[in-house]
Amino acid sequence: MYEEMGRLLGKGFDTWKHNLNLCLPFLLSVLASLVAMVPLIAAAIQAVMSIQGDASQDEVLQLLENSLPTLIPAAALSIVLVLAAGAFFQAGAIGMAKQAISEGRATTRAMWAEGRRHFLNMLLATLISGIISMAGLVFMIPGLAALPRDILTNPDAINPGAISSLGGTTIGLLAGGALLLIIYSLIFSLLLAVVSYALVVDNLGPVQAIKASISFFFYNKFDVFLMWVVVVAISMGMQMISGSMAGTEASWLSAVWSIITSVISLFVLAPLYTVWWTRLYMTRTRTLEEKDTVNDPW
């Protein structure tokens, strides 16, 4: 079953409209992430409370250094818990989207079932993808290596005068590295755009899902790029509106709009994007068998 993009986006929107509970995994993910931050917050509060009001700067730094054996494990635990929660509910969200697309109705049972089944592989795929993404920083090494030592060791030394004194070669290396990093990030985001969807829809392991995503891109370059453009354009449009609101003198208006955009992203855009990407993967891999195509308005 192959759908042209306009039809796919329209049917995806219709699926979301009739399954507003698709926002539930994203809401629970946010709540779980907040709970996962408790160890770090508790350790930070303990460190701050150990600092007395009349303590000197050196004493404050010493107290904070003494708190590192507690802060570092707490931060590591919080990060692992946040990633695990994100992986669980991401798999659950895709599972619900898959059910909604195939059967017309999504249930929370699908979220819990798919989350339990795939969260470990999803977590591993997220970590592997993150490592691949971080590899792009290698393009910045030549430019950073060419910077004067005082700028590298003292961030306060970074000012317009110091930047203007850099040689053309250094600036060229930094600009070239930044450009290559942007290109690398773009290619990376397109190649691995459907890793999560391949993992859940086809029940693949993390490495197999990454390979499937790369293969999917090469067979569906235009569709993946078009979907990516649609998603990025909508997200950037929201950010541009937020930026224009932030520039107004009414700070309360900016705060209200920030809350509104967060709600829209959580309850509308995140589940809608998930449905669109899931449907794109399912239609292009011929794994979609809709339960009811009678009276299809699209």
Which pLDDT score is estimated for 56?
A: 65
The pLDDT, as a whole number, for residue 230 is 94
* 3-state secondary structure (DSSP) of residue 107: coil
Taking the domains of the chain in order of start, what are their residue ranges? 5-284
Model-level pTM? 0.84
d(CA 98, CA 101): 5
Burial of residue 248 (CB within 10 Å: 0-12, 13-18, 19+) is exposed
Q: pLDDT tens, position by position, for the chain (298 residues)?
A: 568 899 999 999 999 999 999 999 999 999 999 998 888 888 778 777 766 666 666 766 777 777 777 888 888 888 999 999 999 999 999 999 999 999 989 999 999 999 999 999 999 999 999 999 888 888 888 877 776 665 555 555 555 555 555 666 777 888 888 999 999 999 999 999 999 999 999 999 999 999 999 999 999 999 999 999 999 999 888 877 766 666 555 566 777 777 888 899 999 999 999 999 999 999 998 777 655 443 455 5
